[in-house]
């Protein structure tokens, strides 16, 4: 066996910060002073309440300050916020969303992947490990009409739980792809089942998790952005029935509607069908 270099928290964390900076995710928020004041006042009041309720001491306050500095220096704000805060933001967005359930985006999306006609095989190494998975389905609108040329932007961890673009030993674009549905709205994606994801334990987010005696795991998942012209894009993830950490996701981002149950094909491979429903934009 060969020794594989594993990504350090510093590597994946700062890469996530670079990816976020290069994205347009942070544009589009307003700057209405009343809105800023309402949100920040409540945020600070919540912190003040914790300080009083828990009788937070000066050493604890200064340790928190030190930790916050390290999160920034390590580039881990995208990781920390997507793991511990994004699920609540998604919950609010979901109040007005119809069709397939969404869930959090997370810090490891990278735009600009290869466009692949269906049936598609996600780019992978010649010796890519993991149980093969054939993932098929349709993309339809809320009236049940198939959406031809809809796009499924897919990304996932490998069989060791690492994402390309954020782990130095993986080729760019590995297990990422933009799959386009055919004229009947159908897609077929050949890939492997990912492993659960572990928040890197050597960075500030991981150190906090260890200090609090929590666990750092997310259940195995596929990420998807499903889109079609004139329709609201769905950001979601699909999980695997019976998988470890399904009921205790550190990022609190699982939903029962998003759990796949792939069928064993009897030859060491698995297959599953799942349909997506997009609402009008």
Chain contacts with Fe ion (rule: CB under 5 A):
106
Q: How far is the CB of 254 from ligand MBD (least distance, A)?
A: 11
Q: Is 106 in the site for ligand MBD (CB under 6 A)?
A: yes
Are residues 271 and 265 in contact, defined by beta-carbon separation less than 8 angstroms?
yes
Residue 82 contact, options Fe ion, ligand MBD, none, Cβ 5-8 Å cut-off depending on partner type:
ligand MBD
Q: For residue 36, give the 3-state DSSP assignment.
A: helix
Residues numbered 9 to 68 that lie near ligand MBD (CB under 6 A) are none
Q: Would you count residue 104 as binding ligand MBD (CB under 6 A)?
A: yes
Positive or negative, the CA dihedral 112, 114, 120, 126 is negative
Cβ proximity to ligand MBD, 83 vs 147, nearer residue:
83
Our finding on whether 251 is near ligand MBD (CB under 6 A) is yes
Alpha-helical segments (H) within 100-234: 204-211
Q: Report yes or no: 209 and 176 within 8 Å, Cβ to Cβ.
A: no
Instruction: Give the range of 35-43, 89-97, 102-110, 126-134 binding ligand MBD by CB under 6 A.
Output: 102-110
- The SS3 call for residue 133 is strand
Is residue 83 close enough to count as binding ligand MBD by CB under 6 A?
Answer: yes
Report helix, strand or coil for 153.
strand
Query: Which range of residues in 104-112, 114-122, 130-138, 143-151 is near ligand MBD by CB under 6 A?
Result: 104-112
- Residues whose CB falls within 8 Å of the CB of residue 183, separated by 6 or more in sequence, listed in order: 148
The CB-side HSE value for 124 (13 A sphere, CA atoms) comes to 23
For ligand MBD, how many residues bind (rule: CB under 6 A)? 11
Q: Which of 20, 135, 197, 217 binds ligand MBD (CB under 6 A)?
A: 197
Measured between alpha carbons, how far is 161 from 8 in angstroms, rounded to an integer?
Answer: 13
Beta carbon of residue 108, minimum distance to ligand MBD (angstroms, whole number): 5
What single string gives the DSSP state of each residue in 199-244?
--TTSHHHHHHHHTT---EE--EEEEEEE-TTB--EEEEEEETT-T
83 vs 208 by CB, closer to ligand MBD: 83
Q: Which is nearer to ligand MBD, 103 or 181 (CB)?
A: 103
* Residues making contact with ligand MBD (CB under 6 A): 79, 82-83, 104, 106-108, 197, 218, 251, 253
């Amino acid at each position: 066996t060969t020794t594989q270099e594993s990504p350090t928290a510093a590597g994946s964390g700062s890469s996530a910060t670079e990816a976020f900076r290069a994205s347009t995710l942070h544009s589009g928020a307003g700057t209405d002073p009343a809105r800023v004041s309402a949100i920040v006042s409540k945020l600070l009041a919540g912190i003040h309440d914790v300080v009083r309720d828990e009788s937070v001491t000066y050493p604890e306050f200064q340790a928190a300050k030190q930790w916050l500095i390290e999160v920034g220096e390590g580039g881990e704000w995208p990781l920390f916020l997507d793991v511990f805060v994004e699920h609540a933001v998604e919950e609010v967005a979901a109040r007005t969303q119809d069709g397939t359930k969404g869930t959090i985006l997370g810090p490891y999306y990278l735009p600009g992947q290869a466009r692949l006609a269906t049936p598609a095989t996600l780019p992978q190494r010649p010796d890519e490990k993991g149980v093969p998975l054939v993932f098929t389905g349709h993309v339809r609108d809320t009236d049940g009409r198939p959406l031809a040329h809809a796009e499924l932007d897919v990304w996932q961890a490998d069989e060791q739980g690492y994402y390309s673009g954020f782990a130095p030993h993986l080729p760019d674009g590995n297990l990422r792809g933009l799959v386009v549905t055919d004229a009947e709205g159908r897609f077929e994606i050949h890939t492997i089942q990912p492993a659960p994801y572990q928040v890197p334990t050597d960075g500030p987010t991981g150190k906090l998790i260890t200090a609090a005696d929590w666990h750092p795991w997310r259940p195995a998942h596929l990420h998807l952005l499903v889109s079609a012209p004139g329709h609201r894009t769905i950001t979601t993830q699909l999980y695997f029935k019976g998988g470890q950490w399904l009921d205790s996701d550190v990022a609190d981002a699982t939903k029962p509607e998003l759990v796949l149950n792939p069928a064993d094909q009897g030859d060491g491979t698995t297959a599953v069908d799942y349909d997506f429903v997009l609402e009008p934009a």
